[in-house]
Structure 1
Amino acid sequence: MRPKDGHRDERGRERTGAAEAIADGVRGVGPSEIPARLCDVAVELLPVTGASVSLHSDGMPVQLGASSAQAAYVTEIQATLGDGPCQSAAQSGVPVLACDLTAGRDVLRWPVFAQQATAAGVRAVYSMPLGSDTVCVGTLDLYCDTPGDLNGRDLRTARLVAAMMTVALMALPRAEETGDPGGERWLSGLATDHDQVYQAAGMIMAQLGVGTDEALARLRAHAFAGGSTALDVARDVVEHRVRFDRD
C-alpha cells in the first residue's frame, strides 16, 4: 500500500500547488478579467505557449479570453472553420490532444485547420472541455509551438485548470443578475464582439431565407474563401459592406 499512498500524496501536492497558483493568478481581478488571467496561469503552469477559453453555444464558439494574440487568432480560425480540436472536445466532452499538426493522424483529422494553425506558428493543440460529465459549456484550448504530448502530470494540471475555469465562469454575473434585458446570454459584457456574429447571422437569414445553421455556414464559408475570420465578415455584414444574395 505504501507505493500507492506515496503516489496519492504526490498527486495531492501537485493539485495543491496548481490550485494555489490559480488562486494567486486571479486574486484581486474583476469578473471580466478572469478568463484571460486564467489563460495566463495555464501558460505559466504548463509546457505551452498560449491558451484561450471559449463558450460553445448556438453553433459558434464565443471567445472569452486569451493569453496572446496568436492564441486568440488560432481560436478564431477554429470558430471560422467550425472544425478543430476545440470543436471535437466540445462535442465529445473529453480532452482532445492534437499532438502533431505537422504530420500524421492529426493532419488527416483536421487538414485545413492543421495547415492554418501551423502557418500561424502552432504545432500542437490540447483542448480541455469545460462543464460537467453530462454538459460541456466550452473549452480551454492550449497551444504549443512544437509537436509533443502532455505527460500525465501536465494533463492532470490541465484538467485542474479547466475545472477551475468552469467554476469561475459559472460564478460570473448572469444576464438576469445585471438587468440585461436580452436575457439569453448569461455571461454579461464578455462576448460583445460576438454579438455581431449573431446579428450578422440574423441578417443573412433574412437575406437568404435560411435557418440559423445555414446562415452561420454561409458566414464561415465566405470568411474562409476570403482569408478572413467569421468575426471580420460579421462586422462587414452588420455594417452593410457585405450582402448575401440568393442564387
Structure 2
Amino acid sequence: MRPNDDHHDGRGRERAGAADAIAEGVRGAGPGEIPARLCDVAVELLPVTGASVSLHSDGMPVQLGASSAQAAYVTEIQATLGDGPCQSAAQSGAPVLARDLTAGQDVLRWPVFAQQATAVGVRAVYSMPLGNDTVCVGTLDLYRDTPGDLTERDLRTARVVAGMMTVALMALPRMEEAGDPGDERWLSGLATDQDQVYQATGMIMAQLGVGTDEALARLRAHAFAQARMAVDVARDVVEHRLRFDVE
C-alpha cells in the first residue's frame, strides 16, 4: 500500500459516512421537507448548532429550510441587510468562514450583521456555496453559538453535505412533478416570496424614479429601520399598504 493510501481511504470513509447519514436523514421525506431535513443532518454531522439553506438569484435569497427558528432568523437577517457571510459566499462561489462575530476582522467586515447575529446567540457562521465551479445557486449556512474554526475534516464534511444539498435541490422540481400535488404549495410559496420582492422592487422604481439596485436598497433599508424582514415589507408594498414616495 502506498503511503497516501490510508489517507485517501480515510477520506473515502468520511464521505461514505456523511452520505449514509444524509440518505438516512431524507428517507421518506417529500420534496418540501428535504431542505430542512438536510439542515438537520448538517447539525448532526458537524460541530454547529444550526443550519439553513437558501437559493440565490437576482435580488433576494430565498430560504428553503432551516434546522431551527434561530437559524431561519439569522438567514433572514442577511437577506434583509443584503450583507453577511452567505451573501459573500454566493458572490464569490467559495466558502466564507466567519469564525468570530464578537471581535476582530469578521466584525469589521460585517458590523451590522455581526451585531444582529450575536444578539440572538450566533457567534460564528460558515457559509458553503451550492453549485459547481462556474455557477453558485445558493448557500448552506452553518451557525455556531461559540467562536471558533472548523477543522479540515469538518470542512470536508461540510463540502460533502453542500454537494448532496446541491444535487437534492436541483432534483426538487422533477420530484415535485412526479410526487404528491400537495408539494406544489411549497414550491409555489417560494415563488410567491421571490415574486413579491421583484414586484415590490418594480413598484418602488416607479414611485421614486430610481433603478433596480436603488429600489432594492430602499426596500432593505426600510425593513431594517423598522426591524422587519424584507419579504414582509415587500408584501406591504405589493398590497398597497406602503408607498415609498409618501414616506
Q: Same fold (TM over 0.5)?
A: yes
Q: Is the 8 A contact 2:59 2:198 kept in 1?
A: no
In the TM superposition, what is the alpha-carbon distance from 1:129 to its structure 2 partner?
Answer: 0.2
Distance in 2 between the 1:110 and 1:208 partners? 29
Distance in 1 between the 2:195 and 2:144 partners? 29
Q: Partner letter of residue 71 of structure 1?
A: A
Q: Is the 8 A contact 1:80 1:224 kept in 2?
A: yes
Distance in 1 between the 2:238 and 2:219 partners? 12
* SS of alignment partner, residue 173 of structure 1: helix
- Residue matched to 2:110: 110
Unpaired segments ≥5 residues, structure 2: 179-185
- Residue matched to 1:149: 149
* SS of alignment partner, residue 130 of structure 1: strand
Distance in 2 between the 1:168 and 1:223 partners? 32
Q: How does 1:91-240 map to 2 (within 5 A)?
A: 91-173=91-173, 188-189=187-188, 191=190, 192-240=192-240
- Residue matched to 1:76: 76
Distance in 2 between the 1:199 and 1:239 partners? 10
Q: Partner letter of residue 94 of structure 2?
A: V
- Residue matched to 1:26: 26
Structure 1 residues 152 and 190, CA gap change in structure 2 (3 angstroms): farther
In the TM superposition, what is the alpha-carbon distance from 1:4 to its structure 2 partner?
Answer: 1.2
Distance in 2 between the 1:75 and 1:194 partners? 15
Distance in 2 between the 1:189 and 1:172 partners? 13
In the TM superposition, what is the alpha-carbon distance from 1:146 to its structure 2 partner?
Answer: 0.5
Q: Is the 8 A contact 1:124 1:144 kept in 2?
A: yes
Distance in 2 between the 1:240 and 1:4 partners? 64
Distance in 2 between the 1:177 and 1:213 partners? 35
Q: Is the 8 A contact 1:207 1:246 kept in 2?
A: no
- My pick for the range that moved more, 47-56 or 226-235, is 226-235
In the TM superposition, what is the alpha-carbon distance from 1:194 to its structure 2 partner?
Answer: 3.4
- My pick for the range that moved more, 196-205 or 215-224, is 196-205
Distance in 2 between the 1:90 and 1:224 partners? 21
Distance in 2 between the 1:202 and 1:40 partners? 36
Q: Is the 8 A contact 2:202 2:212 kept in 1?
A: yes
Q: Partner letter of residue 204 of structure 1?
A: I
TM-score by length of structure 2 reads 0.91
In the TM superposition, what is the alpha-carbon distance from 1:28 to its structure 2 partner?
Answer: 1.2
Unpaired segments ≥5 residues, structure 1: 179-186
Q: What is the RMSD of the two structures over their aligned residues, measured on CA atoms?
A: 2.0
- Residue matched to 2:181: none
**How many pairs does the alignment contain?**
239
In the TM superposition, what is the alpha-carbon distance from 1:199 to its structure 2 partner?
Answer: 2.4
TM-score by length of structure 1 reads 0.91
Distance in 1 between the 2:189 and 2:65 partners? 8
- Residue matched to 1:4: 4
Q: Partner letter of residue 166 of structure 1?
A: T
